[in-house]
Amino acid sequence: MAENSGTDASAPVAIVTGAASGVGFETVGRFRARGTRVVAVDADADAVALFADDAGVDVVVGDVAEPTTAERAVAAALDGFGRIDVLVNNAARFLLRPIVETSLDDWDSLMATNARGVFLFSRAVLPAMTAQGGGSIVNVSSISGLVGLSNQVAYGATKGAIVAFSKALAIEVAASGVRVNVVAPGTVDTPFVRVPVQALPDPEATMREIAATHPLQRIAHPAEVADAIAYLASPEASFVTGVVLPVDGGYTAQ
Ligand SMILES: NC(=O)c1ccc[n+]([C@@H]2O[C@H](COP(=O)([O-])OP(=O)(O)OC[C@H]3O[C@@H](n4cnc5c(N)ncnc54)[C@H](O)[C@@H]3O)[C@@H](O)[C@H]2O)c1
């Protein structure tokens, strides 16, 4: 990506979902540091205030599971910035629940946010990317999509779906110059983990236990995941497509 600042009309354009917190927020920061203009998508209306001072960021508030949200994000990118070079499908919700306590609504709503959203946004950006001669889609999965983790049947299924989806799409669109890759984080220090752990009897002990399951003996900072996303999105990864990159402190190497 070009090194420039602000709102240079020749700068690349990225759509980032789940941009108001954690990995998505850090990813927007990485892109902006490289001059990439961003359409930041989040269900949380606070996203508007987060990026209000940056003319290089347009905010779309909406649920990624709704088809109109992807359509609005694509319209914001094309009408506001004139192109779409990168899509980061990052928005997701977590569910830590045994299968027998997982309701049909739990399953359907998690699939809608975590998997259907990836389908809707990918489908929506491809006509513009193909017309431009290429682009890069980075989908955020999880170690839960690669290995079995207890009480994560629904969440893990959504994250495994993203891996299979991304490999199939990488092959389908390769000839049009669009690359599709996956980042699979281990535990990351964001509200995604902090909020459910806070509800447990000893949150700090639980965080220490989670950290110890990663060979590097700690959890990730969201910026470490954003760096991997930024790499896969960038021209430095121009011959990389269809890969799943664990950013997991060695978790899946065990
Ligand atoms: N935090 C972890 O330990 C961890 C581990 C592995 C993978 N991941 C993945 O990393 C990604 C980012 O997670 P995070 O830790 O930054 O989470 P986070 O909770 O800090 O941020 C997620 C953001 O997504 C938004 N969002 C949620 N549902 C949405 C919807 N339906 N429509 C639009 N926006 C929605 C939230 O408002 C929030 O701003 C997710 O895909 C998650 O599955 C996280």
Q: What is the pLDDT of residue 31?
A: 98
251 is catalytic: no
Residue 162 near ligand 1, beta carbon < 6 Å: no
190 CA distance to ligand 1 middle (Å):
8
| Contacts with 204 (C-beta within 8 Å, 6 or more apart), sequence order | none
Cα(14) to ligand 1 centroid in Å equals 17
- pLDDT tens, N- to C-terminus, the chain (254 residues): 333 345 688 899 999 999 999 999 999 999 999 999 999 999 999 988 999 999 999 999 999 999 999 999 999 999 999 999 999 999 999 999 999 999 999 999 999 999 999 999 999 999 999 999 999 999 999 999 999 999 999 999 999 999 999 999 999 999 999 999 999 999 999 999 999 999 999 999 999 999 999 999 999 999 999 999 999 999 999 999 999 999 999 999 99
Task: Quote the ligand 1 centre to 23 CA distance (angstroms).
Answer: 7
247 alpha carbon to ligand 1 midpoint, in Å?
15
For the Cβ of 113 lying below 6 angstroms from any atom of ligand 1, the answer is: yes
What's the pLDDT at 8? 83
pLDDT tens digit string along 28-41?
999 999 999 999 99
Pick the catalytic residue from 155, 165, 192, 251: 155
Q: Has domain 13-253 been given CATH number 3.40.50.720?
A: yes
By most ligand atoms within 8 Å of CB, the mutation choice from 15, 17, 23, 198 for ligand 1 is: 23
User: Would you tell me how many other CB atoms lie within 10 Å of the CB of residue 157?
Assistant: 16
120 CB less than 6 Å from ligand 1?
A: no
Whether the CB of 191 sits within 6 Å of ligand 1 = yes
Distance (Å) from CA 64 to ligand 1 centroid: 12
Mean pLDDT of the residues in the chain: 96
pLDDT, residue 2, reads: 37
- How is 36-70 classified by DSSP, letter by letter? -EEEEEESSTHHHHHTTT-TTEEEEES-TTSHHHH
> Going by CA atoms, what residue is nearest to atom 7 of ligand 1?
142
Nearest to 7 by CA among 57, 51, 45, 53: 57
Question: Residue 185 CA: which ligand 1 atom is closest?
Answer: 6
The single residue listed with the structure tokens 């690349």 is 12
Is 18 close to ligand 1, i.e. is its CB under 6 Å away? yes
Assess whether the C-beta atom of 56 lies below 6 angstroms from ligand 1: no
Strand positions, DSSP E, the chain: 13-17, 37-42, 57-61, 86-89, 135-140, 178-185, 244-247
pLDDT at residue 9, as a whole number: 82
pLDDT tens readout for residues 129-138: 999 999 999 9
What is the pLDDT at residue 10? 87
Residue 111: is it exposed, middle or buried by C-beta count within 10 angstroms (0-12/13-18/19+)?
middle
| Residue 253 alpha carbon to ligand 1 centre in Å | 24
Q: Report which DSSP code applies to 177.
A: T
Q: Decide whether any atom of ligand 1 lies within 6 Å of the 43 Cβ.
A: yes
35 lines ligand 1 (CB under 6 A): no
What residue spans define the domains of the chain? 13-253
